[in-house]
Chain A
Amino acid sequence: MNPSSQFRPYPTRRAVLGAAVAGAALPVLGGCVTGGDDGATEAAAGAKTAENPLGVPDKTPLEVVIFKGGYGDEYAINAESLYKQRYPGATVDHKGMQKVGKALQPRFVADTPPDVVDNTGAGRLDLATLVSAGKLTDLADLLDAPSLDDPARKVRDTLLPGVVEDGTFDGKAQVLNFTYTVWGLWYSKPLFDKHGWTFPTTWDAMLALCEQIKKAGVAPWTYQGKYPEYLNDPLLAMAAKAGGADLVKAVDNLEPNAWKQQPLVDAATAIAELAGKGYILSGSEALSHTEAQAAWSQSQVAIIPCGSWLEAEQKGVTPDGFDMVMAPAPALSGGDKLPQTALQASSSESFIVPAKGKNPRGGLEFLRILFSTTAAKRFAELNSTMPSVAGALEGLTLSSGLGSVKTAVDAAGANTFTYRFRTWYAPLAKAVDDATGELATKRITPAQWSDRVQKAADAVAADSAVKKFQR
């Protein structure tokens, strides 16, 4: 067959492709993704009075976007109705959704964001990026405003320890987190009582207990292997208790050799010991969080690390009489700088007030209402979860898990700590997760663990494209 003899009435494929590419290469770029308008918008404001300390304009509508995940959005609707009672002239546009980031990214780019956003869930927008792009309102006015319940106390004084710091970037509070999460080790109290086990407060006692548990035919530990960050929590918590606030600071500030500090190596050694002595349920490294937690709920395993959301998450699969409780991670040694009751605590459900919204004063006021005892109590009742407002659980009947969380928070008092590198430097967090996963499967040693993580931290520190934070 001779191709040249073919009758070709139409342009060839090649010619069409060529024309198409040429056409597309012409900047079709004018009105596209990056075309934002940076002109300042005039935000509405009303007169400041004792009743209205933030100067909310009464007639301006308020647009609220809520992440509708595990906590639903009924608590927010409740707070919105309180808002409408105070400002009868305003309408509230409520949107509950799951993919907050997808819906709001174009609106942030175009500078037409809503007035207040619960930026949470797997599809949330990266907070550090929003901060460095200057897209958020400084929350200082809100934090210094009188609280709704007691005008003599500022909003900032009604929050649990660490909440304001969690939302502070570059010395400015720009995020306010609504739920309070603490991390610890979970076990079933009846299971422990049945065998006469007591939860240990030191690592040596933990190893001794694990030996007993193993003899009883139960796997001592498991972890959510597909996501090794769950196992980082006990590791980093033990290191922080041993090394104190300075250790945490050095890590977060990317100081040279921060990850080679002895308490971190010791904590990594402790986790490696668990693996080395066969105290971790075999196959854990391939289990998803649901699979690992299910094995634990069926009492195949005694201990699992998790945050305080565990009880709510396991609601449907927890057998009757399981009565889970959370304990803080044990102390590495007698010379720890923080008491054993110290807790890794941080707040989440990140509420932000976009800078370019039409009604930022209303956004701030919505948060003042949401963070009042009334609204926070309602949230706690609906979701059996601890809000970041102090005393919100007082007077409520608590389940076994939430009760143990409250006890632990009360016992810790001001001794809470949190690492910020996870939110500041996501690539470093990934490197730590990967390394811990390898450590727990005995594929690397504690020394290799700290070498690897240090290398990743050095790479982040040396990368001029990454915005640095200090604490």
Chain B
Amino acid sequence: MANDRHGRYRFLAGAILPALALYAVFVLSPYAQAFYLSLTDWTGVSGQVQFVGLDNFTRLVRDPLFLAALRNNGLMLVVVPVVTIALGLLLAALVTFGGRRGSAIRGASSYQTAYFFPQLLSLPIIALLWQFVYHPNDGLLNGFLRAVGLDALARTWLGDPHLALWAVMAVLVWSSVGFYMVLFAASMSAIPTEIIEAAVLDGAGKLATLWRIVLPLLRDSVQVAFVYLGVLALDAFAVVQVMTAGPGGPDNATEVIGLGLYRNAFTYSRFGYAAAMGVALFFLTLTLAVLALRAGRRERVELA
């Protein structure tokens, strides 16, 4: 018995340690260095650094750009996950139960494939495509609005500080909704049809079935989606960097933490300060993940 166990540990160690070593060198050690650098004034080119204590952090809370970034990321954190998950659930339900008597609709898998497509494009490419869509004079969006006679609704989407952040959020939602739809659809098809049929027999309407029967059974998937989408909303760097004026504009209306970090490090050569931003972002993300996972900690429903 004891021998058996030893062999097992040796095997496990052999499997895990190389990966753990790589992880330590390429993930943990940079993290540790970032924490250390956030307490210094490192410029990125000099071998000499000065320890400045918590200076970078006190500067951070007084930096109007960082505060603007916090506000914008905060708004995205509220809007992007909720809208994406709601749309994803709705589309998944339509595909999975939208057919006759709550069965899958015809061609369900081709819908799923189509909705999944944006996931295959990298984020900068998506941002570039949407920049063309939002083009104020020749763009698809304004072109469509003008073609159907809604000229009054045409806007300079990315050039208006009141609209730019919403335009960015729309792109984030568009790019991720397909993935979560597929995820939710997979969980939904695992729900035994008897449960749905029973609900329908009891006289539940479509919305009530979705809200009271299906959604509670999907708790785990939704929770994971919240964490991932939250992380996405706290980042949003690529889309903002490629798409917006400035970038981060107009007039910092789309400033995000990642962008401020990048600018301070690679344009201003303030790597110490940028590291402090990274540390702040790290704790924000960590808090979000812990909260989201705690909030959803409940008794699990076992199916079948």
Contacts and interface: CB of A to CB of B under 8 A. Distances in A.
Interface of A: 1, 10, 20, 23-25, 27-29, 32-38, 101, 105, 108-111, 123, 125-126, 128-130, 132-133, 135, 225-228, 281-283, 285-288, 291, 295, 426-427, 430, 433-434, 437-438, 441, 443, 465
A286 B47 contact: no
27 contacts: A10-B12, A23-B28, A25-B32, A28-B33, A33-B37, A34-B37, A34-B42, A34-B47, A35-B47, A36-B47, A109-B44, A109-B46, A126-B43, A126-B44, A133-B45, A225-B245, A227-B245, A282-B137, A283-B136, A283-B137, A286-B135, A287-B135, A426-B267, A434-B252, A437-B249, A437-B251, A465-B41
A38 B47 contact: yes
B137 A288 contact: no
Contacts of B299: 1
Nearest to A35: B47
B49 interface: yes
Nearest to A130: B45
B159 interface: yes
B187 interface: no
B47 A110 contact: yes
A36 B46 contact: yes
A357 B161 CA distance: 48
Contacts of B263: 430
Given A28-B24, A38-B47, A286-B156, 18 more contacts: A20-B28, A28-B32, A34-B42, A34-B47, A101-B266, A105-B44, A105-B45, A108-B45, A126-B43, A129-B45, A133-B46, A135-B46, A283-B135, A285-B245, A288-B131, A295-B137, A426-B268, A438-B250
Contacts of B97: none
A286 B245 contact: yes
Interface size class of B (residues with CB under 8 A): 35 or more
A285 B250 contact: yes
B137 to A, nearest CB: 5
Instruction: With a 10 A CB-CB cut-off, give which of A111, A285, A443 has the most chain B CB atoms.
Output: A285
Nearest to A34: B49
A125 B48 contact: no
A309 to B, nearest CB: 20
B246 interface: yes
Interface in B284-304: 299-300
Contact of B267 (A109, A126, A282, A283): A126
Nearest to B64: A459
A24 B32 CA distance: 6
A334 to B, nearest CB: 35
Contacts of B300: 1
B121 to A, nearest CB: 20
A133 B47 CA distance: 9
B157 interface: yes
A434 B251 contact: yes
Contacts of B36: 27, 29
Contacts of A281: 137
B131 A29 contact: no
A286 B45 contact: no
A230 to B, nearest CB: 12
A125 to B, nearest CB: 6
B261 to A, nearest CB: 14
- How would you classify the secondary structure of chain A's contact residues: helix, strand, loop or mixed? loop
A24 to B, nearest CB: 4
Contact of B159 (A10, A25, A441): A441
B293 to A, nearest CB: 12
B47 A37 contact: yes
Nearest to A465: B41
A438 B269 CA distance: 27
A433 B246 contact: yes
A109 B269 CA distance: 13
A228 B37 CA distance: 33
A285 B47 contact: no
Given A23-B28, A286-B136, A129 B42 contact: no
B158 interface: yes
B243 to A, nearest CB: 9
A437 B250 contact: yes
Contacts of A287: 135-136
Contacts, number: 136
Contact of A109 (B40, B45, B157, B266): B45
B50 to A, nearest CB: 10
B245 A437 contact: yes
Given A23-B24, A286-B156, A434-B249, A29 B33 contact: yes
Contacts of A123: 266
B131 A443 contact: no
A23 B251 CA distance: 43
A10 B33 CA distance: 30
Interface string B104-135: 00000000000000000000000000010011
A120 to B, nearest CB: 15
Interface string B227-255: 00000000000000000111101111000
* Complex A-B, nearest 6 residue pairs according to Cβ-Cβ distance, in ascending order: A36-B47, A283-B136, A286-B159, A285-B159, A129-B269, A133-B46
Contacts of B45: 105, 108-109, 125-126, 129-130, 133, 135
Interface string B263-276: 10011110000000
Given A37-B47, A109-B46, A24 B250 contact: no
A36 B46 CA distance: 8
Nearest to A132: B43
B31 interface: yes
Interface string B126-158: 000001001111000000000000000000111
Nearest to B59: A465
A34 B156 CA distance: 45
B263 to A, nearest CB: 8
Nearest to A133: B46
Contacts of A28: 24, 28-29, 32-33
A145 B129 CA distance: 53
Contacts of A441: 159, 250
Nearest to A224: B245
B136 A282 contact: yes
Nearest to A429: B267
A105 B42 CA distance: 13
A282 B137 CA distance: 8
Nearest to B161: A443
B3 to A, nearest CB: 15
B204 to A, nearest CB: 28
Interface string B158-176: 1101000000000000000
B250 A111 contact: no
Contact of B24 (A24, A129, A133): A24
Contact of A32 (B29, B134, B135, B251): B29
